[in-house]
Amino acid sequence: MTRLDAVRAAVRAEGLDGFIVPRADEHLGEYVPPAAERLAWLTGFTGSAGLAIVLATRAAVFTDGRYTLQLEQEADVALWERCHVTETPPAAWLKANAPAGARIGYDARLISEEALARFAESGVALVAAANPIDAVWIDRPPPPAAPALPHPLAYAGQVSAEKRALLAAELTRAGQDAAVLSDPHGIAWLLNIRGADLDYTPVALADALLYSDGRVDLFIDPAKLPEVTRAWLGNGVAVAGPERLAAALDTLVGRRVRVDPAGTPAWFAQRLRAAGAEVVAGPDPCLLPKACKNPAEQAGARAAHGRDAIALCRFLAWLEIGAAGTTELSAADRLLSLRRELPGFRGESFPAIAGAGEHGAIIHYRASAGSNRALQPGEVFLIDSGAQYEDGTTDVTRTVLIGPGTPDAALRERYTRVLKGHIALAALIFPEGIAGPHIDGFARAALWRAGLDYDHGTGHGVGSFLSVHEGPVGISRAARMVPLAPGMILSNEPGFYLPGQYGIRLENLLLVRREDIPGAGRPFLGFETLTLAPFDRRLIAEALLDATERAWLDTYHARVLAAVGPQLDAATREWLAASCAPLG
């Protein structure tokens, strides 16, 4: 009996005609622990975004353009229809394939109310039910149980009690008695703790309730809280096991409770309504303050980027001087091992993307033993990587020429257009009120002029020793209309991809700061570039840069040399000095 057959039997046993299986855990984040890899267990598909629907005789897996090839390789075509999520939306597939009056189950802990609403047009009856996979997955791994530890005040910059008081005042102003916190990143920020339950992201999986008097009920496996952390949390935070969460929601009879309809599992609002609470839709109250880094977090980000730059410059020098015989995997390993030497290093912030030649054109390429290829002279090599340090999170992409060899004019022109976009965004000055969708085009206009573009966003928010992909702001056409504000950290990563040939991406992190402009009648903002590493001048067509762009690049390179040079050995420093010399 296949796993699919076993799940179908469990679905039938519940009196259902089908079941929806998203790639999600109880916190709806980007990474999930092995215990929550239900979609991969059932379908074989291991991509980070997907959803399956199981009906009595048909079943389908849906993913987006990043993963369509991987889906075809991983999900058995004899069992699964493999669908592109925008070409064949799950709701449309369900409408076409579910019997009239079908009752389709879902696990309300694994899907938001907003995601559920997208199934409205399918015309089926959606039924919250026990997860049939959990009933038949025998060798399911245990949930993660890494200890949650204090995030020191030197890095956090503000005591938790003060953060809680500010959010509580916001709830009070809004006439709300409590807020559901189902996002472990928000909880980590609010309580100044960090964990190790997930790869790449230092959070402890937990839920919490924040009350309008500033108290917090934290629902977490007590085994994950050593004594030092319990003392750190203090009296304002009551700790209980996750099994107590439902009962705590049930006590909120008659209370107004804020629940984020996009980021919180539907179960919370359903349980609260059933208990007689009034559910008010609103964003997770941690989301915006977490995004606006305070001075200590900003200082931490600068310090972390300053150290990260040492590994980056050593790596780039080695690539240019001594990398004969290197492969994608060995190059990424080299950069990782250089970062490991740095104080405060706690791991990668995401799986590195190291693509040589045509692999660089695969935007979410991940080198494997099977795909790994040597870096060939004359090709370009794209490496997008980042690290978690105890004081900050980094994310940087450079595209370099593998020597010896001379890049052709078209490649240099395209690299330079990407660089022009990167500079246009980095140097932009804009008034308060401007959001990501308003400025995305500045990073693209130089490409657009030549009929070129890239099919990904220009920037994402970045956490402070937290997720490298952090809301609520982003720089893209479809990002949320949340105004940029001082202290936010965002990536600046325009690119260009020529399928089958090469990829170019140039990424620094930016810190939003106030700009004091004499005589300005209103507050203006701009960016401080945090990342410090040279751009490959062999790939720059200098004639395409105007005077402003050349000045920006020379100033940036001088800053890199001044900050990083003194910390390098003589040979690497010499390489850096040459790489950072003013343009010809």
Of 23-31, 46-54, 168-176, 446-454, the segment contacting a second copy by CB under 8 A is: 446-454
Of 132-140, 364-372, 400-408, 518-526, the segment contacting a second copy by CB under 8 A is: 518-526
Of 34-42, 165-173, 440-448, 487-495, the segment contacting a second copy by CB under 8 A is: 440-448
Residue 253: which residues within 8 A CB-CB, separation 6 or more?
275, 276, 277
Rule CB under 8 A: choose which of 449, 555, 569, 577 binds a second copy.
Answer: 449
Rule CB under 8 A: choose which of 546, 558, 577, 582 binds a second copy.
Answer: 546
Rule CB under 8 A: choose which of 169, 520, 558, 583 binds a second copy.
Answer: 520
Q: Residue 241 in 3-state DSSP?
A: coil
Closest distance of CB 422 from a second copy, Å: 16
Radius of gyration of the chain (CA): 25
Q: Which two tokens stand for residue 225?
A: 């809280």
Q: How far apart are CA 270 and CA 432, in angstroms?
A: 38
Of 231-239, 258-266, 437-445, 556-564, the segment contacting a second copy by CB under 8 A is: 437-445
Rule CB under 8 A: choose which of 142, 175, 254, 451 binds a second copy.
Answer: 451
| Position 514 contacts a second copy (CB under 8 A) | no
Rule CB under 8 A: choose which of 159, 517, 577, 583 binds a second copy.
Answer: 517
| Position 524 contacts a second copy (CB under 8 A) | yes
Q: Residue 495 in 3-state DSSP?
A: strand
Of 33-41, 171-179, 305-313, 516-524, the segment contacting a second copy by CB under 8 A is: 516-524
| Position 521 contacts a second copy (CB under 8 A) | yes
Closest distance of CB 359 from a second copy, Å: 20
Of 53-61, 83-91, 356-364, 512-520, the segment contacting a second copy by CB under 8 A is: 512-520
Q: Is the Cβ of residue 79 or residue 443 nearer to a second copy in the bound state?
A: 443
Q: Residue 328 in 3-state DSSP?
A: helix
Strand partners, 356: 381
Instruction: Residue 381: count other Cβ atoms within 10 Å of its Cβ.
Output: 25
Give the footprint of a second copy on residues 156-195 (CB under 8 A). Answer: none
Closest distance of CB 241 from a second copy, Å: 40
Q: How far apart are CA 447 and CA 441, in angstroms?
A: 10
| Position 17 contacts a second copy (CB under 8 A) | no
Q: Give the alpha-carbon dihedral of 112, 115, 120, 121, to 10 degrees.
A: -170
Closest distance of CB 427 from a second copy, Å: 9
Angle between helices 295-322 and 547-564 (to 10 degrees): 90
Closest distance of CB 450 from a second copy, Å: 7
Q: How far apart are CA 473 and CA 483, in angstroms?
A: 8
**Total residues binding a second copy (CB under 8 A):** 29
Rule CB under 8 A: choose which of 155, 267, 442, 575 binds a second copy.
Answer: 442
Q: How far apart are CA 50 and CA 35, in angstroms?
A: 17
Rule CB under 8 A: choose which of 325, 518, 566, 584 binds a second copy.
Answer: 518
Starting at the edge strand that comes first in sequence, how are the strands of the sheet with 216-219 ordered? 237-240, 216-219, 207-211, 178-181, 256-259, 278-281
Q: Is the Cβ of residue 81 or residue 515 nearer to a second copy in the bound state?
A: 515
Closest distance of CB 453 from a second copy, Å: 5
Q: Which two tokens stand for residue 317?
A: 């020098």
First-to-last C-alpha distance (Å) of the chain: 69
Q: How far apart are CA 187 and CA 467, in angstroms?
A: 13
Rule CB under 8 A: choose which of 12, 477, 514, 559 binds a second copy.
Answer: 477
Residue 104 near residue 98, CB atoms below 8 Å? yes
Rule CB under 8 A: choose which of 448, 558, 569, 571 binds a second copy.
Answer: 448
| Position 519 contacts a second copy (CB under 8 A) | yes
Of 55-63, 90-98, 451-459, 463-471, the segment contacting a second copy by CB under 8 A is: 451-459
Closest distance of CB 556 from a second copy, Å: 18
* Peptide bond before residue 407 is cis, with ω within 30 degrees of 0: no
Site string for a second copy, 285-304 (x = CB under 8 A): --------------------
Buried b or exposed e, range 102-128, using 16+ CB within 10 angstroms: bbbbbbbbbbbbebbeebeebebebbe
**H or E stretch including 316?**
helix 295-322
E-state strands within 70-150: 81-84, 103-106, 125-128, 149-150
| Position 429 contacts a second copy (CB under 8 A) | yes
Q: How far apart are CA 83 and CA 63, in angstroms?
A: 7
Question: What angle (nearest 5°) sits at the alpha carbon of residue 416, between those of residues 407 and 555?
Answer: 115
Site string for a second copy, 216-255 (x = CB under 8 A): ----------------------------------------
Q: Is the Cβ of residue 222 or residue 433 nearer to a second copy in the bound state?
A: 433
Strand partners, 196: none
**H or E stretch including 209?**
strand 207-211
Closest distance of CB 417 from a second copy, Å: 12
Q: Is the Cβ of residue 162 or residue 453 nearer to a second copy in the bound state?
A: 453
Q: How far is CA 395 from the centre of its chain?
A: 10
Q: Residue 5 in 3-state DSSP?
A: helix
- If you search the block for the tokens 């308003």, which residue do you land on? 438
Of 47-55, 274-282, 422-430, 459-467, the segment contacting a second copy by CB under 8 A is: 422-430
Closest distance of CB 414 from a second copy, Å: 11
Which whole-number Å values give the CA distances from 106 to 134, 262, 266, in the listed order? 12, 16, 10
Rule CB under 8 A: choose which of 41, 93, 137, 430 binds a second copy.
Answer: 430
Rule CB under 8 A: choose which of 117, 433, 514, 571 binds a second copy.
Answer: 433
Q: How far apart are CA 194 and CA 188, in angstroms?
A: 6
Q: How far apart are CA 126 and CA 104, in angstroms?
A: 5
| Position 440 contacts a second copy (CB under 8 A) | yes
Q: Is the Cβ of residue 141 or residue 431 nearer to a second copy in the bound state?
A: 431
Q: Is the Cβ of residue 5 or residue 64 nearer to a second copy in the bound state?
A: 64
Which residues of this chain interact with a second copy, rule CB under 8 A? 428-431, 433-434, 437-442, 445, 448-453, 477, 515, 517-522, 524, 546
